[in-house]
C-alpha cells in the first residue's frame, strides 16, 4: 500500500473559535504542565502517543511527550523523538521557494512554462501562465494526487529524485485542471511537486539538499530528515492506523511509503521542538526580524489570498485575527501547527496515529495550548 496525503488548511477554526488566550511564557525545557495536559487528552482519546511544543519569538520552547513509541512495546516517547509531519512539509517547501526569491534566483511571478520548458509539449494551456505563487496558494488548478489510487496510476520513472519529480511534473501538467487555474482554490499535492521541480531547476540543487542547506542547517533542526522516522530500524516512534476494530502499529519499512516525486508535498520528519523552531523563524520574520526570511517575504507568505497564503492556511482563530495553520498526515501520523501572528506563540502537536481519535486528540491539544500560552500583545490589540 502506498501512503496518501490528506490534510486540511482550515478545519481547525470550527474547533478553536471562542477561546481566549492568556498566560505568560515559561522558560525553555520540558514542561510538566504540557505533559499533564497531553496525558489527560491521550487517556480520553486512546492514542499511542502525543507530543507537543510551544515556542515564542524570544526562542523559548516548552515541550511535553506522553505515551509509547509502538503499541505493545514498553519504550516511552520523548520530546526529542521524531514524528512524521505529512503535509506540514508544504510550508517548508514554500520556505525554500521564498528563500530562493530572497536570493534573486526566482520570482513569485515566474510561470511554469518559463521555469519548466521541458514540459511545454504536453502541458495543458491552462497551466502555462500559472506562477510559483499560484502553486503555493493552491490556485494552480492541478489535480490533488491525494489518495492511493491516484499515486498507483503514476508510472514510476528511473533516475534521481530530481529527474523523477520533473517527470511527474510533466505528467501532472498534462492532466486537465480540476478548477479554473488562477481563479479558484483547490488543494493539490502535485502543485508542490511542480514548485519543487522549479526550485531544483533554477538552483541546480535537489529539493532534499535545498531543505538541508536553506532550512534545516540554518535553524539547527538536528532531528529533521525524510521519510518515516523509524525506517531502517531507527529507535523512533512507529505510525499506527485502524485495522477493523483495533489500532495497530505499521512497519516503518512497509510499502506505504510516499513516492519520492511527492516528497516535497509531505515526507519530512522531525521532533516537535525542532518544528517549533521552524515556526518561530516565521514568527520572528513577521515581527520584523530577518533571522531566516525577509520580513516582507514572510508577510506576503502569511497573507490570505483566495483561501490560503503561500504555503500556509491563514484564518482568525482562538480570538486572534490572524493565525497561520497547517495539518498534515500521510496516514500513520497526524501533525498540527499554528503561528499566532500577534500573540507571540507557535504550537506544534503530533500523534503517532492517523485515526479519528488521533485527529480529535491533536486538535484538542492545540486548542488548549493556544488558550494557555499565547501572549497578549502590548496595548491589548489582536
CATH code, domain with 285: 3.40.710.10
Does the pLDDT at position 21 exceed 90?
no
Cα 195 to chain centroid distance, Å, stands at 15
DSSP readout, 57-100? TTS-EEEEEEEBSSTTS-PBP-TT--EE-GGGHHHHHHHHHHHH
Q: How far apart are CA 311 and CA 298, in angstroms?
A: 11
Number of other residues whose CB lies within 10 A of the CB of residue 136: 26
Using one digit for the tens of pLDDT, what is the confidence trace for 92-144?
A: 999 999 999 999 999 999 999 999 999 999 999 999 999 999 999 999 999 99
Task: Answer yes or no: is 172 within a domain.
Answer: no
| pLDDT for the residue numbered 23 | 40
The residues near 57 (Cβ < 8 Å, ≥ 6 apart) are 280, 283, 284, 287, 289, 344
The domain containing residue 370 runs over which residues?
13-87+268-380
Cβ pair 311, 291 in contact under 8 A: no
User: What's the pLDDT band for 2 if we cut at 50, 70, 90?
Assistant: very low
Does the pLDDT at position 42 exceed 90?
yes
| pLDDT for the residue numbered 16 | 40
Tell me the three cell numbers of residue 121.
Answer: 509539449
| pLDDT for the residue numbered 5 | 59
Q: How far apart are CA 112 and CA 131, in angstroms?
A: 6
Point out the least confidently predicted range of 151-155, 164-168, 347-351, 358-362.
151-155
| pLDDT for the residue numbered 378 | 52
Please give the order of strands across the beta sheet that includes 49-55. 29-30, 61-67, 49-55, 345-351, 334-340, 320-328, 313-317
Q: What mean pLDDT is predicted for residues 235-253?
A: 93
Task: Answer yes or no: is 322 within a domain.
Answer: yes
| pLDDT for the residue numbered 13 | 39
Number of domains in the chain: 1
| pLDDT for the residue numbered 199 | 98
Task: Answer yes or no: is 73 within a domain.
Answer: yes
Q: Please, what's the b/e burial string for 149-164 (b: 16 or more CB within 10 A of its CB; e: otherwise)? A: ebbeebeeeeeebbbb
Tell me the three cell numbers of residue 353.
Answer: 496515529
Cβ pair 49, 352 in contact under 8 A: yes
Number of other residues whose CB lies within 10 A of the CB of residue 22: 12
Using one digit for the tens of pLDDT, what is the confidence trace for 215-233?
A: 999 999 999 999 999 999 9
| pLDDT for the residue numbered 19 | 33
Q: What mean pLDDT is predicted for residues 201-213?
A: 98
Task: Answer yes or no: is 186 within a domain.
Answer: no
DSSP readout, 251-304? -TTSTTPPPGGGHHHH-EEE-HHHHHHHHHHHHHHHTT--SSS-HHHHHHHTS-
Q: What mean pLDDT is predicted for residues 6-24?
A: 41
User: What's the pLDDT band for 376 if we cut at 50, 70, 90?
Assistant: low
Task: Answer yes or no: is 7 within a domain.
Answer: no
- How many alpha carbons fall within 13 Å on the CB side of residue 250? 26
Amino acid at each position: 500500500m502506498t501512503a496518501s496525503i490528506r490534510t486540511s488548511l482550515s478545519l481547525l477554526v470550527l474547533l478553536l473559535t471562542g477561546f481566549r488566550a492568556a498566560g505568560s511564557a515559561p522558560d525553555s525545557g520540558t514542561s510538566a504542565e504540557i505533559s499533564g495536559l497531553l496525558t489527560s487528552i491521550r487517556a480520553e482519546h486512546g492514542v499511542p502517543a502525543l507530543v507537543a511544543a510551544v515556542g515564542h519569538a524570544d526562542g523559548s520552547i516548552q515541550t511535553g511527550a506522553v505515551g509509547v513509541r509502538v503499541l505493545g512495546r514498553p519504550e516511552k516517547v520523548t520530546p526529542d523523538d521524531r514524528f512524521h509531519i505529512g503535509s506540514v512539509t508544504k510550508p517548508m517547501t514554500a520556505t525554500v521557494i521564498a528563500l530562493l526569491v530572497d536570493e534573486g534566483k526566482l520570482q513569485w511571478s515566474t510561470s511554469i512554462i518559463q521555469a519548466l520548458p521541458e514540459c511545454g509539449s504536453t502541458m495543458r494551456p491552462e497551466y502555462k501562465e500559472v506562477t510559483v505563487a499560484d502553486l503555493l496558494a493552491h490556485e494552480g488548478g492541478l489535480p490533488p494526487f491525494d489518495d492511493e489510487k491516484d499515486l498507483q496510476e503514476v508510472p514510476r520513472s528511473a533516475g534521481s529524485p530530481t529527474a523523477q519529480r520533473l517527470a511527474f511534473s510533466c505528467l501532472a501538467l498534462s492532466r486537465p485542471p480540476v478548477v479554473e487555474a488562477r481563479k479558484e482554490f483547490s488543494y493539490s499535492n502535485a502543485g508542490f511537486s511542480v514548485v519543487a521541480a522549479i526550485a531544483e531547476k533554477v538552483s541546480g540543487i535537489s529539493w532534499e539538499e535545498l531543505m538541508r542547506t536553506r532550512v534545516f542547517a540554518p535553524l539547527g533542526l538536528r532531528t529533521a530528515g525524510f521519510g518515516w522516522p523509524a525506517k531502517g530500524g531507527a529507535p523512533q516512534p512507529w505510525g499506527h492506523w485502524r485495522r477493523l476494530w483495533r489500532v495497530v502499529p505499521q512497519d516503518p519499512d512497509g510499502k506505504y511509503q510516499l513516492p519520492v516525486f511527492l516528497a516535497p508535498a509531505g515526507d519530512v520528519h522531525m521532533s516537535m521542538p525542532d518544528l517549533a523552531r521552524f515556526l518561530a523563524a516565521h514568527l520572528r520574520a513577521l515581527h520584523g526580524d530577518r533571522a531566516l526570511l525577509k520580513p516582507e517575504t514572510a508577510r506576503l507568505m502569511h497573507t490570505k489570498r483566495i483561501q490560503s497564503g503561500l504555503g500556509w492556511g491563514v484564518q482568525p482563530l482562538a480570538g486572534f485575527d490572524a493565525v497561520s495553520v497547517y495539518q498534515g498526515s500521510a496516514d500513520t501520523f497526524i501533525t498540527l501547527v499554528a503561528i499566532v501572528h500577534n500573540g507571540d506563540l507557535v504550537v506544534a502537536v503530533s500523534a503517532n496515529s492517523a485515526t479519528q481519535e488521533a485527529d480529535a486528540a491533536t486538535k484538542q491539544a492545540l486548542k488548549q495550548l493556544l488558550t494557555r500560552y499565547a501572549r497578549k500583545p502590548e496595548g491589548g490589540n489582536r
